[in-house]
Amino acid sequence: MQLFIHWNPSPDFVSFGIFSIKWYGIFWGLSLISCFLIGRYIFKKLNRDDEKITLAIQYVFVGGLIGARLAHILFYQLDFYLANPADIIAVWKGGLASHGGFVGGLVGLYLFCKRNSEFTFFWILDMGMLMVVILASLIRFGNLMNSELYGKETNVPWAFIFVQIDNIPRHAVVLYESLAYFFIQIIMLVLFNKCKESKPGLYLVTFLISVFSVRFLLEFYKEPDGFILLNTISKTQLLNLPFIITGIVLAYFVMNNKLSYNSNNQ
């Protein structure tokens, strides 16, 4: 008889009657604190003023949250939210698309740079990639606490039975993803300690290729959201391809030193 992991946590970290603190919210908070600490570490290593890190994170957080929510609504559950508009703002229940979060975060970062001209967009984008992978890792752990984004049926000994979903052993894809992002975050910080700013765009390229390749590959183990290409590639996988291709194209320019932060202040 195989022993699988029976997964049935409450989504509430603590509950006080009608009010509760969600695990998802806890991991969102931890992710923002982690981003701040990593950002301060990076700025100190580069002898930069770290006073505006909190403000930059706020811009990226708001932009990323709006973008992630809109993308989830538009690409995955439009019919549901049209029928239940009050749930649009219920982000504590989950339902954030990382692709939209990335684009929304870029918009937030651009607006931050417009109001803080001492930073160039490309420089802070490149450095920002060193901070945000831990955010993705922790948020995915929040998804796990919500029993969300479960994988396909499997008999591997580390399979999870998501009791709130069914009694079928499945791949804990969201846990795989969280661990993969954590590993990528460590690799990127090691890369930073060795390279600093010697290759403009290096961290952006590393982020785009590694993070979205992980997303693409792990989708093969997740319950598909509908096939689009060759009855094999899902909607989510297709959304990953532009980011991976962009990373590969930018890698050519990075390796040939064709990119610059383009600012005398940086």
pLDDT of residue 226: 61
Of 12 and 98, the one with more pLDDT? 12
| Dihedral of alpha carbons 16, 20, 21, 24, sign | positive
Query: How do the domains of the chain map onto residue ranges?
Result: 21-255
pLDDT above 90 covers what percent of the chain?
41
| Dihedral of alpha carbons 59, 63, 65, 68, sign | negative
Sorted by sequence, the CB contacts under 8 Å of residue 237 that are 6+ apart come out as 215, 216, 219
- Cβ 7 vs Cβ 151: under 8 Å: no
Q: Is 236's pLDDT higher than 90?
A: no
Q: What is the pLDDT of residues 181-226, one digit of tens each?
A: 999 999 999 999 988 777 899 999 999 999 999 999 999 898 766 6
Q: Average per-residue pLDDT in the chain? A: 86
Structure tokens at 2: 């195989």
Q: What is the pLDDT of residues 166-178, one digit of tens each?
A: 999 999 999 999 9
Helix (H, G, I), strand (E, B) or coil at 133: helix
Q: What is the pLDDT of residues 62-99, one digit of tens each?
A: 888 888 888 878 877 778 877 877 777 776 666 777 77
Q: Provide the residue type at 79 as one letter.
A: D
Q: Is 3's pLDDT higher than 50?
A: yes
Beta strands in the chain (DSSP E): 5-7, 12-16, 19-22, 160-162, 169-170, 227-229, 233-234
Sorted by sequence, the CB contacts under 8 Å of residue 196 that are 6+ apart come out as 45, 46
Distance CA 84, CA 233 (A): 29
Phi, psi of 172 (to 5 degrees): -85, 70
10 Å CB burial of residue 134 (0-12, 13-18, 19+) is buried
Q: What is the pLDDT of residues 18-41, one digit of tens each?
A: 788 888 889 989 998 999 999 999
pLDDT above 70 covers what percent of the chain?
93
